[in-house]
């Protein structure tokens, strides 16, 4: 059997060893926590950067799409205006040949789209309607 003081020293030594291991484990855990926090921060920064890049790309694409839609709308408006001019020329030709029914048919179609046309064409359509009314009434 060992003397009491020797057991006590062994116990103290074991306690000291456990304290040292606990301190080392705490330091290791703190270091791991710091590394994990840094990694999470870096990941968050990366996600934020990617999100910002994606937002910019989406905004650019949206702008391109809006410009394309605006161009297409402008083309369609020009096409409608050109078509209306052709129809007005036809009405004038029918009126010159005294073909009042044909002139009236085209004027009725122009009346349906008149609101989407430029003011100059609206005025011209109104003038042609007045001329047709005068010609119809025998004036």
Q: In which domain, by residue range, is 60 found?
A: 10-136
Q: Is the pLDDT of residue 105 over 80?
A: yes
pLDDT at 8 over 60: no
Is 16 domain-assigned?
A: yes
Tell me if 1 is assigned to some domain: no
**pLDDT score for 6:** 56
Residue 12 clears pLDDT 70, i.e. is over it: no
| Count of domains for the chain | 1
The answer to whether position 2 is within a domain reads no
Q: How far apart, in whole angstroms, are the C-alpha atoms of residue 131 and residue 110?
A: 15
Residue 17, pLDDT > 70, answer no
In this prediction, residue 54 carries a pLDDT of 76
Name the DSSP class of 19. Answer: H
Q: What is the pLDDT of residues 41-95, one digit of tens each?
A: 777 777 777 777 777 777 777 777 777 777 777 777 778 889 999 999 999 999 9
Distance CA 80, CA 101 (A): 23
3 falls within a domain: no
pTM above 0.85, yes or no: no
4, part of any domain: no
The strand ranges marked E within 1-139 are none
For the residues 92-118, what does the mean pLDDT come to? 94
Assess if residue 69 is contained within a domain: yes
Residue 86 included in any domain: yes
């Amino acid at each position: 059997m060992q003397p009491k003081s020797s057991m006590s020293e062994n116990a103290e030594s074991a306690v000291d060893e456990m304290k040292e291991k606990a301190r080392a484990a705490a330091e290791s855990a703190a270091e791991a926590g710091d590394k994990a926090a840094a990694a999470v921060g870096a990941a968050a920064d990366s996600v934020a950067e990617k999100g910002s890049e994606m937002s910019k790309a989406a905004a650019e694409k949206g702008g391109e799409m809006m410009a394309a839609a605006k161009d297409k709308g402008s083309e369609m408006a020009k096409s409608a205006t050109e078509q209306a001019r052709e129809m007005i020329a036809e009405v004038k030709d029918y009126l010159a040949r005294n073909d009042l029914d044909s002139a009236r048919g085209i004027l009725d179609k122009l009346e349906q789209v008149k609101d989407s046309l430029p003011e100059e064409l609206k005025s011209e359509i109104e003038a042609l309607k007045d001329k047709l009314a005068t010609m119809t009434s025998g004036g």
